[in-house]
Structure formats: C-alpha cells, structure tokens
Chain A
Amino acid sequence: MAADIRPKRPFRWHIGVFLAPAVLVYTAIMILPLAGTLQLSLFRNIEQHQVFVGLANFRTLFGDPNWSVNFWNALTNNTWFFIIHMLVQNPIGVMLAALLSSPRLRFSAFYRTAIFVPTILSFVIVGFAWKLILSPLWGVAPHLLDLVGLKSLFTPWLGKEEYALTALSLISVWQFVGIPMMLIYAALLSIPEEVIEAAECDGITGMSQFWKIKLPLILPSIGIISILTFVGNFNAFDLIYTAQGALAGPNYSTDILGTFLYRAFFGFQLQVGDPNMGAAIATMMFLIILGGVCVYLFLVQTRLRRYQF
C-alpha cells in the first residue's frame, strides 16, 4: 500500500550532469587514444593505404628476430630497471619515512623537502645534471672519489654496457625516492597514538615496534607504492632518452620498452617511423602493465589486511 502513495522517484539528472565532464574528458584524452592505438596495431601501411592485417604485426614482433631480439632485450632491461627500484627505492623510502617520523629528529621539515625536491625536477635537468656529475672529463664524481683516494673505483658508468642500466636506474631512484617517502610518512603519521602506547605498555619498543606494529600497518601503502613503481617503470622513457639518446646505448644495453617504442613509432635518423609496429609495441606495454596491475589487485590486495581504527 505504502508503495502506491510514495511518489515515483524522479530521474536523478544531477548524477549524469556531474559525471559528464570527467567522463567526457577521460574518454577524449584516455579511452579514445587507447582504442585508437589498439586499432592501429591491427593495421599495416601497404602502398599508402591502411590495410587490416589481424595479428600480423604481433607475429612480426615476436617471430622476426630483427624485432623480437630487441623486444626481449627491452623487456629484460625494463624488468631490471623495475627490480632496482623495488630493491633500492622503496626500502630507502620506507627507511627515510621511519626516520622522519621519529619525534626526536630535528629539521625534519627541511630533510623532507630536500629529499622530495628532485621529484619535481624535469627529467631533462636530471639527465643532464647526472651526465655532468658522472662525466669522466669534467664531472665531480671522479674528483670526489679522488679526494678520498678511491679514484680507481671510478669508471665511465654511463658508457659501459655492464653498468649503464644500473647507473640510470639509481639516478631514477635518486629522483623519485621522495614519493614512497611521502606516502609512507603520511601512513606512519596516521597510526593512532593509542596503538603505539599499547605496544609500549606491552614492552614493544624501538626496532621491534617498527617491525611488529608499524610495518604491518603501512603494508597497504607499500602495496600501492609498488604498483605505482611498476606502472611508472614500464612506462619510463624520458630519463633514458635524455641521458643515452634514442638508441639507448651502449649497444642497446639501456633500451627499455619506452625507447624501443619511440624508435619504432617515430623513427630515428634515417629510420622511418612505422606507426603500426609502434602501436603493436604500445599494445604490448599496455598488456604488460594491465597484467601486472591485475595480479596486484586480485592476488595481493585482497590478501592485505586492513586495520580499522
């Protein structure tokens, strides 16, 4: 009976109206280009016409050694780039955040800012500055090592096949260590005092307090940081391009998916760009990142325990 009396709920126009700008902008600048890329990867330019070729571009990418060797090389390098970030950037970020959140530390605002500043620098500046710092001719690195008598440790890192990628990964770590630091710092600050006090009452202090109480509470943040690092690293391009050029030398040892995509899509010097093959590589990058994010969302995040305060 009551249902008859209740007025029919009017269509809630305002939801659509408020969603529209975001949906439209996101569709126009994200979804359409993405769909366009996926579509482009299924075509090939044959005598000035775009012809549908199905998965032929992907067969070339994986079947033709001229492409597949480069692709696997780029993927391996990219994975190493990611591993360095996970092993160096994130633990250091957590450590810095733990130090910064210590109430006894003086000038913590200064340290926080100083460590975060490189993050907002342009890649071009970072690449150029480090190229100069590490330059065997005019760099400060050989000079500083000389001052402490370790000149023999210096090698032209950016020019050696075996070190270049690791050196660049560490430069990138230097630049971005501020982001995990800030996120973890915020997470640490949000841990309620009562929890800490309770732990202290139970006799858990110092390092064991960090390992047993704080770390489990910030694990969700570490998960988010890992996935951000993953997406960022597999989309990386700028630093390698500014420091090593599009050919990602020496001997393609710093070639990552981003630079490989750039050469294929836009061409380089005499190499004419092939947008279709480029789109195929971009599609692979998209799938790799999508796969990684899915693994995280479905396998890792569901198992992380969240604590409600």
Chain B
Amino acid sequence: MTTKLLTALLLGTSILGSAGVAYADDVTLNIESWRGDDLAIWKDKLIPAFEAKNPGIKVVFAPSAPTEYDAALGAKLAAGSAGDLITCRPFDKSLELFKKGNLADLSALPGMENFSPVAKSAWQTDDGKASFCVPMASVIHGFIYNKDAFDKLGIKVPETRDEFFAALDKIKADGTYIPMAMGTKDLWEAATMGYQNIGPNYWKGEDGRAALIKGDQKLTDKDWVAPYEELAKWKPYLGDGFEAQTYPDSQNLFTLGRAAIYPAGSWEIGLFNTQAQFKMGAFPPPVEKAGDTCYISDHTDIGMGLNAASKNADAAKTFLSWVASPDFATIYANALPGFFSLNSAPVKMEDPLAQEFVSWRGKCKSTIRSTYQILSRGTPNLENETWVESANVINGTDTPEAAAKKLQTGLDSWYKPAK
C-alpha cells in the first residue's frame, strides 16, 4: 500500500518535474506545507489569483502529511532539495530553522508592515529584531453556543462571569441540555479550550504574558491561579463521565444538539457549520465586570517563510509580499472560515460565525497562548504540563494552587529569565 502510494507520488513528481521543463522560461516556486487539507484552495483559488497578477511565476503547492512534515522538511533542507517557500510552524520549530540558516530574514520584506507585533511574534527571534516568516493565519478562542437552546431557555448571551455561571445554572436546572461540552480525557481540551481561553482576561493578555517571560510574574501569582479557580468551578456543568470524554465526543455532543455551550477554537467553525442542525452563536470569554477590557487568545498558527537556499529568491519574495497583502487575506479567510488572517487590514468574511469571532479583535485585546513562546523549551515542558494540570484541576485531582505551584516549580527548574 505504502509502496504503491510512494510509487504514485514519485511518478507524480516526475511528471510535475517535466511539466516544469516545458515552461523553462518561467520561474517555478515550490511550497512546502503540512496542510494537505488546503490543497484544493491553493490550486483553485490562491495560486491562480497570484499567477494572474504575476505572469512568469508559476507556483506549485506540494504538501506532505502533518505528522511527517517536520522530519521530511528537515531532511529535504539538509539535502538541498526543499521547496523555495516553506510553511512555518509557530515558534521554536521555525526559530530553530532560522538559527540553522535554513530560513531567510524577511524583516525588510515589503508587506511585513501589514502585521501587528503580536502577529509577528511567532516567527521572530527572542529579541524581536528579525522576522523570518509572513504570518498567514491565527485561530481565536471563545465559546460557541446553541442559539436555539439559549432562546428556548430565555438566556441572553453572558458578558460577565456572574452572568456566565447564572446561564450555566439555568441550563443545568432545566436539564434538557448538558450545560457545557468539554472532556478531560484528551487533556488538551482542558488546557487549550479551558485555561488558555479564559486566562487572558485574568492575566491581561500580552502584559501578563510578557511579564511571565521576563520573570516579573509567576504562575503562582493571583492572576495566573485565578483561571484555574474558575476551571475548577466548571466541573459540575460538564456531562456525565466527562473524565473519559474525548475531543471528538465533545464535538459530537455539541453538534448533535445535546449540549448548550462549547468552549471552542475558531477552527471548529467549518466542521460545525456542516454538522450542526441548529443556529449557533459565539461569545468571547466573559469578563469580571461589565465594561472591563476584554482579552482574547488570537493564536498565531501558520506562516510562510523563504528557503535561504532558494535559487528563485526574488520571485519567492514577490510571492511572499502577495501573501502579506489584503488580497491573499480575503481569499484565504473566506476559503477557510475559522482561520483568520493576521493582516491589519480588515478582511470581509461571509460566514456569520467567523464574523462574530473576528469582530472581537476590534473590542478586545489580542494575545497568544501563554506557554508557546520561549517557555516551552525545557524539561519539563510547560505546555505539556499545562495540559496535565488543567485536566487535574477540572477532575479535582489537584487544587488550583497545587497545580500552579507544580507548573512554576517545573518552569523554575530550567528557565532563568533574562534580568
């Protein structure tokens, strides 16, 4: 099976290779990516749009499987056979490539000014001086709710934490719906959809995150323990046996209409739109008092960089500038609702749920997940530990204080903030 596939792929590449020869006058750019799912969007929408504007440059999107991408890319870069354009994972994996000299410095690329510092932070050196990938998309956290259920029970969309818990109480008392669809079996739901979702409101987004990296704040501080205290309060609102509820279970529970609220990431929008038979809405993580500044996790997820060894660097830079343009952002964001362009220029999107998510950028302050930059480089790995501890807090195995203390002790064992 694998051999057959491999043969087919090899044959395919040889045909593509000869196709390249036929257009010998044109420059052909190859894109390395792990997003095989996006193949159709690239082939049918993005690449034709670019080629129409830039005659003489051909682009080929050549994805590999997500689990193999990093290893395959590393091998290709070492052998000098990697494509001209490289899809960048956020943070350390790409930073490592840049440090090895595989990715070119793009700080001066025309179009980079279209991105905010938060958007660029995932593909910058620690001091923020050099940027090496053009930010493509981010995912936003919040809560998706079943509008029909809310209407039936007469609940209005909660803005403050008190309203949020009042709504949960009301859904629970009614009994038709499970108040919240989330499980702790896969661990990451608790951390990503729980802790990183509601956390930024407590630690004040970028301020808290930067202070944590600088060492001015600790995970045992009030602002960092408080989200765990709220998570611990979620337990009674989760479904029966949530300890063994997996991520697909949670998705199904919500899309089948059995649960009222789903702590979400915006990447769910595409799937939920096709599966759910009811109207959906979304709200950002509730704040403490009405009128407080809200913070959202607008997490940088995917970018694109230039292979430093590319022979077509100029053409590749033209392409990257286009990726940085509002044109690209509009096509991309509409083709993949839930993956939002990081471009500062407002992008018009058709999907109402996606519009709701992206509208929070206007009224709330954006931040990224607190554990991703710098803090997850050592052993124990802060991100993995956050998964485990967030699940522990919801399961009641650890108190919020104990969880925070474990995380900080682990972090202290290898991380010495620069003073």
Question: In the complex, A184 Cα to B93 Cα: how many Å?
Answer: 52
Closest B residue to A160 by beta carbon equals B243
* B388 interfacial contact with A, CB 8 Å: yes
Interface code A245-286, partner B: CB below 8 Å = 1, 0 otherwise?
101011110000000000100001111101000000000000
| CB of B210, distance to nearest CB on chain A (Å) | 19
Taking a contact as CB atoms under 8 Å apart, the answer to whether A136 and B245 are in contact is yes
Question: In the complex, A251 Cα to B241 Cα: how many Å?
Answer: 17
Given A249-B388, A250-B392, A250-B395, answer yes or no on A159-B185 (Cβ-Cβ < 8 Å): yes
* A157 interfacial contact with B, CB 8 Å: yes
Taking a contact as CB atoms under 8 Å apart, the answer to whether B92 and A270 are in contact is yes
Interface code A186-215, partner B: CB below 8 Å = 1, 0 otherwise?
000000000000000000000000000000
Q: Which of chain B's residues have a CB closer than 8 A to the CB of A137? A: 239-241, 245, 249, 252-253
Select B384's contact among A160, A161, A247, A250, beta carbons within 8 Å.
A247
Taking a contact as CB atoms under 8 Å apart, the answer to whether B397 and A251 are in contact is yes
* A308 interfacial contact with B, CB 8 Å: no
Q: List the one stretch of B117-125, B215-223, B373-381 in contact with chain A.
A: B373-381
Q: Which of chain A's residues have a CB closer than 8 A to the CB of B413? A: 65-66
Question: In the complex, A272 Cα to B252 Cα: how many Å?
Answer: 32
Question: In the complex, A221 Cα to B241 Cα: how many Å?
Answer: 42
Question: In the complex, A159 Cα to B189 Cα: how many Å?
Answer: 14
Residue with the greatest number of chain B CB neighbours at <10 A, chosen from A161, A252, A271? A271
Q: Which of chain A's residues have a CB closer than 8 A to the CB of B410? A: 66
* B187 interfacial contact with A, CB 8 Å: yes
Q: Which of chain A's residues have a CB closer than 8 A to the CB of B388? A: 247, 249-252
* A126 interfacial contact with B, CB 8 Å: no
Taking a contact as CB atoms under 8 Å apart, the answer to whether B387 and A247 are in contact is yes
Question: In the complex, A67 Cα to B414 Cα: how many Å?
Answer: 12
* A177 interfacial contact with B, CB 8 Å: no
| CB of A244, distance to nearest CB on chain B (Å) | 8
* B301 interfacial contact with A, CB 8 Å: no
Question: In the complex, A245 Cα to B380 Cα: how many Å?
Answer: 18
* B61 interfacial contact with A, CB 8 Å: no
Size class of the contact patch on chain B: 35 or more
Taking a contact as CB atoms under 8 Å apart, the answer to whether A247 and B187 are in contact is yes
Select B391's contact among A135, A142, A251, A268, beta carbons within 8 Å.
A251
Interface code A61-72, partner B: CB below 8 Å = 1, 0 otherwise?
000011100000
* B267 interfacial contact with A, CB 8 Å: no
Question: In the complex, A18 Cα to B51 Cα: how many Å?
Answer: 62
| CB of A219, distance to nearest CB on chain B (Å) | 40
Taking a contact as CB atoms under 8 Å apart, the answer to whether A250 and B397 are in contact is yes
Question: In the complex, A161 Cα to B398 Cα: how many Å?
Answer: 12
Interface code B220-254, partner A: CB below 8 Å = 1, 0 otherwise?
00000000000000000001111111100100110
* A291 interfacial contact with B, CB 8 Å: no
Taking a contact as CB atoms under 8 Å apart, the answer to whether B381 and A270 are in contact is yes
Select A250's contact among B188, B243, B382, beta carbons within 8 Å.
B243
* B91 interfacial contact with A, CB 8 Å: yes
| CB of A268, distance to nearest CB on chain B (Å) | 6
| CB of B229, distance to nearest CB on chain A (Å) | 19
Taking a contact as CB atoms under 8 Å apart, the answer to whether A156 and B186 are in contact is no
Given A137-B249, A269-B383, answer yes or no on A159-B243 (Cβ-Cβ < 8 Å): yes
Known: A159-B242, A251-B391. 10 other contacts (CB 8 A): A66-B414, A131-B246, A137-B239, A250-B185, A250-B391, A251-B392, A251-B398, A269-B383, A271-B381, A271-B383
A-B contact pairs, 12 of them (CB 8 A): A66-B410, A131-B246, A135-B241, A135-B249, A136-B239, A137-B239, A156-B245, A159-B245, A161-B395, A244-B185, A247-B388, A270-B372
Which residue numbers of A lie inside 8 Å of B, CB to CB? 48, 65-67, 131, 134-138, 142, 154-161, 244-245, 247, 249-252, 263, 268-272, 274
